Amino acid sequence: MNPWIHSLLEEVLTLLSGQIDGQGIQLVKDYAEYLPSLQGDRDQLKQLFLNLIENGLENMPQGGRLTISTLFENERLENGKYLEVKISDTGSGISSKNLRRIFDPFFTTKEKGTGLGLSICHRIVSDHKGFIEVENNKDGPGVTATVRLPLLPDLLEEDLDAIDSDSQQST
């Protein structure tokens, strides 16, 4: 199964390939082999991941490592099951004072920023009934943005059955 979320992430990376190549960024992709289907607004999710990845790149003007990973844990989180996308950079991080305000509209620390990028991300994730969390990396420099998007129960059951049958055939 190659979920559309991976092709969406690849589209965003293609759009940003000039910045990635031009800044000496090491790109690491850790995509889950099997992911259930996700229902969502493709254009909004594209904007979400574009904003998050651009922020990561802007935090590494001298180069660094950008890691994008997807994960599905077949466990209940909050009030349902979620697909998780993480975007991590090895940039300078965010001060604890600023970290509390990053989703506030018009809050920015950038000279030419509008302060709308992360507030738009928060709205998109909320509109999809998901969760977003941004925190400084515990094991080194940089920031990780974690997006959890809910899976629809009906689609999830169909996908889990397909994943089970695929894994049994490959053994």
Tell me which range, 66-80, 117-131, 146-160, is most confidently predicted by mean pLDDT: 117-131
From 76, 169, 66, 56, select the one nearest 118 (Cα to Cα).
56
* Mean pLDDT along residues 70-97: 80
- Alpha-carbon span 70 to 77, nearest angstrom: 16
Spatial distance between the Cα atoms of 146 and 118, rounded to a whole number of angstroms: 13
| Alpha carbons within 13 A on the beta-carbon side of 43 | 0
Give the per-residue pLDDT at 8: 95
- Predicted pLDDT at 79: 57
Please give the mean pLDDT across all residues of the chain. Answer: 82
Q: Give the domain range for residue 91.
A: 4-169
| pLDDT at residue 116 greater than cutoff 70 | no
| 84/147 Cα distance (integer angstroms) | 6
CA distance 171 to 168: 5
Lowest mean pLDDT among 59-63, 73-77, 89-93, 99-103: 73-77
Residue 138 pLDDT exceeds 70: yes
- Domains in the chain: how many in total? 1
The two three-digit tokens of residue 151, written as one number: 């899976």
| Overall average pLDDT of the 96-124 stretch | 75
Query: Cα 76–78–83 angle (5° rounding)?
Result: 60
What pLDDT, on the 0 to 100 scale, is given for residue 102? 76
- CATH number of the domain enclosing 70: 3.30.565.10
pLDDT at 107 over 70: no
What is the edge-to-edge ordering of all strands in the sheet holding 82-89? 25-30, 64-72, 82-89, 143-150, 131-136
Residue 81: its pLDDT value, please?
79
H or E, element range at 146: strand 143-150
Q: Once rounded to an integer, what is the mean pLDDT over residues 26-43?
A: 88
- Say what the pLDDT of residue 121 is: 93
